[in-house]
Structure 1
């Protein structure tokens, strides 16, 4: 039985139905708990409830002693809480009252507090900034920008992508503030489109697209780091020797597999102590910024001190257009946005980590848009430095190592200095990879928790010893490792899989925003972060950007391509959709986010003192196996007419 964390009194959800009111329907008329109403009103007004004001304060810890979720397919189901009521008290960055409010919020969304809120806003910003890794990602993909528009597309395309992605981050941040749960985009669709015939299916499809995007993003980061590690050898060889002795596929696969295992084991071990993972992300964030400063200072300083080297003209850096594709310039402009988009993708890492930060309704939106802004500024400045330091543009378009960034570093700093900088760059990339797998594992876990992945209850388990969704971590490690097998026999397919992450994540961002626009912004639950009157404009810009870039990102690298130049991302994405549809037919339509007959009630009520609606959770008693009672789900109603159902 769930106990009051402060007074060890039974939760009001345990009371008999008669004590809750005379009506037991899912509409919840007459089931309003006065104490619950006071607690929720205090929470939204920012007041601090205490035991003197409310003897039931803290009774919504919403944790469970069960190590695995119940077998019922109801949704939202109680989570696989592996901790007791001490989960709230063990949250370092927040007070006990804030922890109670956070657990209360999560319970109202249908889940218990299974993971501890060990991150502060700043450690989460460090994680998000490193996951974006804009300046390093732009360095990795410099070759794409050089052939698809050159410096104009690299710099001004990044500015355009930054502005549009800021709008996307603001749109998603507003939704996250209203419904802070780790499943994020898919959950919001289910809530906003609740009652629509396609609502749950659209939510399921979004969850698969989002999860697939994160798995491929993790795989692409691992592949990049593997290739950078192996490419360092070419720095010590002449061009002919480097071209004559490429690494065999099995070596690349083993390095890829080793890095995957390293990331997984670190994520598993780091949560054993609550302070380790946030401290690690803080360290990686500081190292990330320090290395950025080192490169920004070292590259131009080396050019300035060497009389044989020269800076490029400002007209080249800020105004040179290069089109080496055969496509018309208008098409090339959009193709050149890929580099910037890849560098500013995955800010939804905050969304999937939202159950591990205090006051997520306030902190999550801030963290998202700050990460995008910081990433854009660092990426723009770093690309300006790199473009000024280019010595031979033709050699850069076909470098022996395969990476123009390595060529820029070696040609300016020298062989040994360049090797040291690239080694530090790789160390930094490994730290980024750990953060990417952390975020991806939380999405995998939350998708399993809501019944979307086969054997969901098994993979939704939160290990009580390691305090981490270990099974979800190992599941994604196996899938990411299997992608690396393509190094052995299908490198073209491998590159297609690695390139689809930006497309999948962009689509997963657009889907909830589109649903919000279709159903109306007034259907959003109360929130602490709002875009206000600019909301419709911001949502519109986000949708146009996502739609246009998604179309062009499926284009091949040149018109009339040979099989080797084809962009197979659309084929990979199509296969993913077929797999998702298959799982929907076999399992998802039965288990994914099924709403129980008896649900928690979340009511919108007009306040006499304020025009702002009051979010008031109402509890009804539900039954699970063994006769125990549990929270089974939620339903939301609005305005004075309780019969009108809204998400």
Structure 2
């Protein structure tokens, strides 16, 4: 049988058939047909996932806040801790991705891992968590870029106040440009995202080298690796340190975009898992080097971080360390990385919505599931996500901790979308899962268990308040946003969608006897 190609014997050696299934046949087993061009290489797939894990986009906007929550200890050691556990989560997802290399990723996988009676609801919840995480990530990335652009304007003209309304206006323009970029052919997006990869790596190295060479009176190694600060208002230093993990976990998310691009990636069963793991590993190494170098450049914690009016505070550290000209260069590099990250997130999230819509799981599914005949891209899905990101951005105007709440929503929603397939793989599908070319062998169950524990722990942590005393203005409203969106979607499923949504597989019609004949396995003619 075709799926036996993915079986392993007791020694975990692969037992291959002479004619393993093609990726088109795997797609057909889900009820899909190949509609998009398979032109994306391994490097392009990895570049998109790495762009979503952008260290310059994720680490820079919140760096000052995390320094106040747990000092350099939270920034450096928190990054190491999160990187290790996130790589474990990546291993768990890569193994599943290798078996099911289909656009839609997480929610598609759940359709094969969940008990049959729970497939529709499990797919529905996973899909909406995945969509919320990816789309809110567009909001956070583009808002971070707007903040940095405002800081550059303030450096150039201290008299001019780029207030929160101006920042939101800049954010809207950035979102619109990202929508335009992702409405063109994917082959141009591949080039764009490879450029993003080189921009991130070369730009990060430039910042590290120049900052360490030019900054006088650098901090000591003892300060960088042991300094702790708790300005949260909470008496527990341990809790303050844990709050500081948000920056790192937020940065190392969105890597599932590699799986979302499976139907456009050559040899996706091998290259999409590589994209996931390469993205996390590369981000972990470069992020560590970047954070260590920035913290060495802190000359006066009180003046540069606690008392400064410059936002983000990292800009003040650069300004005092390397001067005005190099600070402008640094901020341009960071803003470019943020721009590339927002574009990669728009690309990944649009594919997720397209996949979800072609199964009738979204409002206006008929439009969101359409592929433009010229560009071969889901243009309606792109702009639906852009509009939603713009609406979520309004929260930035009304709440002082809104940016942290938006980041928390992104992190929690993405993490729970990861949790469901991993937990199902560990429990329900433990003995029935058919491995793909990439797998973890005998380590699979223990890594999956650790990944589940980590996701549950951080998801609970990131809905907790970040400041004390807790007021209406500084309350962490991430749980409200998450519960409203996911709760509304579940209610919609229960009262309406349950009658027609039965899981993935509505874009092609298989023979009526496909699931009864002995010559068909999961809809594939053997």
TM-score, normalised on structure 2? 0.91
Could you say what secondary structure the match of 2:419 adopts? helix
The within-5 A match list for 1:52-131 is 101-131=22-52
Q: Are 2:404 and 1:483 equivalent residues in the alignment?
A: no
Match of residue 295, structure 1, among 207, 226, 234: 207
The residue number in structure 2 matching 1:163 is 84
Whether the 8 Å contact between 2:30 and 2:522 is mirrored in structure 1 is no
**1:485 CA displacement:** 3.8
What is the CA deviation profile of residues 296-335 of structure 1, one whole-angstrom value per residue up to 9, with x for unaligned ones?
A: 11101112xxxxx301111111111221113312212221
Match of residue 316, structure 1, among 212, 216, 223: 223
What is the CA deviation profile of residues 238-272 of structure 1, one whole-angstrom value per residue up to 9, with x for unaligned ones?
A: 5xx46xx34251x2232111111100101112x1x
Whether the 8 Å contact between 1:214 and 1:440 is mirrored in structure 2 is yes
Q: In 1, Cα distance between the equivalents of 2:439 and 2:280? A: 18
**1:104 CA displacement:** 2.0
The residue number in structure 1 matching 2:130 is 210
What is the CA deviation profile of residues 454-505 of structure 1, one whole-angstrom value per residue up to 9, with x for unaligned ones?
A: 2212210111112100111121122122223445555655653343101110
Could you say what secondary structure the match of 2:182 adopts? helix
Q: In 2, Cα distance between the equivalents of 1:168 and 1:588? A: 31
Q: Tell me, which stretches of 5 or more residues in structure 2 are unaligned?
A: 8-13
Whether the 8 Å contact between 1:102 and 1:358 is mirrored in structure 2 is no
The residue number in structure 2 matching 1:529 is 438
**1:417 CA displacement:** 2.1
The residue number in structure 2 matching 1:548 is 457
The within-5 A match list for 1:7-26 is none
Q: In 2, Cα distance between the equivalents of 1:524 and 1:495? A: 38
Q: Are 2:168 and 1:247 equivalent residues in the alignment?
A: no
Q: In 2, Cα distance between the equivalents of 1:532 and 1:187? A: 23
Match of residue 175, structure 2, among 232, 239, 260: 260
Could you say what secondary structure the match of 1:422 adopts? helix
Could you say what secondary structure the match of 1:414 adopts? helix
The residue number in structure 2 matching 1:27 is none
What is the CA deviation profile of residues 202-223 of structure 1, one whole-angstrom value per residue up to 9, with x for unaligned ones?
A: 2211111110111100111111
- Aligned-CA RMSD value: 2.7
The residue number in structure 1 matching 2:298 is 390
The residue number in structure 1 matching 2:251 is 343
Q: In 2, Cα distance between the equivalents of 1:543 and 1:534? A: 14
Q: In 2, Cα distance between the equivalents of 1:122 and 1:180? A: 17
The within-5 A match list for 1:421-432 is 421-432=330-341
Which is worse superposed, 179-188 or 439-448?
179-188
Whether the 8 Å contact between 2:319 and 2:327 is mirrored in structure 1 is yes
Q: Are 2:86 and 1:190 equivalent residues in the alignment?
A: no
The within-5 A match list for 1:551-630 is 551-594=460-503, 598=512, 600-601=514-515, 616=521, 618=523
**1:136 CA displacement:** 3.9
Q: In 1, Cα distance between the equivalents of 2:85 and 2:484? A: 29
Q: In 2, Cα distance between the equivalents of 1:501 and 1:157? A: 19
Q: In 2, Cα distance between the equivalents of 1:481 and 1:37? A: 43
**1:182 CA displacement:** 1.7
Distance verdict in 2 for CA 1:341–1:317, change over 3 Å:
same
Structure 1 segments of 4+ aligned residues over 3 angstroms from their partners: 36-41, 43-49, 484-495, 593-605, 615-620
Q: In 1, Cα distance between the equivalents of 2:513 and 2:323? A: 66
Q: In 2, Cα distance between the equivalents of 1:335 and 1:485? A: 24
Q: In 1, Cα distance between the equivalents of 2:262 and 2:496? A: 27
Whether the 8 Å contact between 2:6 and 2:15 is mirrored in structure 1 is yes
Q: In 2, Cα distance between the equivalents of 1:296 and 1:554? A: 33
Whether the 8 Å contact between 2:56 and 2:337 is mirrored in structure 1 is no
**1:134 CA displacement:** 2.1
The residue number in structure 2 matching 1:284 is 196
Distance verdict in 2 for CA 1:320–1:108, change over 3 Å:
same
Q: In 1, Cα distance between the equivalents of 2:334 and 2:4? A: 53
Q: Are 2:143 and 1:235 equivalent residues in the alignment?
A: no
Distance verdict in 2 for CA 1:170–1:416, change over 3 Å:
same
What is the CA deviation profile of residues 6-31 of structure 1, one whole-angstrom value per residue up to 9, with x for unaligned ones?
A: xxxxxxxxxxxxxxxxxxxxxxxxxx
Whether the 8 Å contact between 2:58 and 2:141 is mirrored in structure 1 is no
The count of corresponding residues between Structure 1 and Structure 2 is 512
Whether the 8 Å contact between 2:149 and 2:335 is mirrored in structure 1 is yes
Whether the 8 Å contact between 2:401 and 2:476 is mirrored in structure 1 is no
The higher relative CO (CA closer than 8 Å, separation ≥ 6) is in 2
Could you say what secondary structure the match of 1:523 adopts? coil
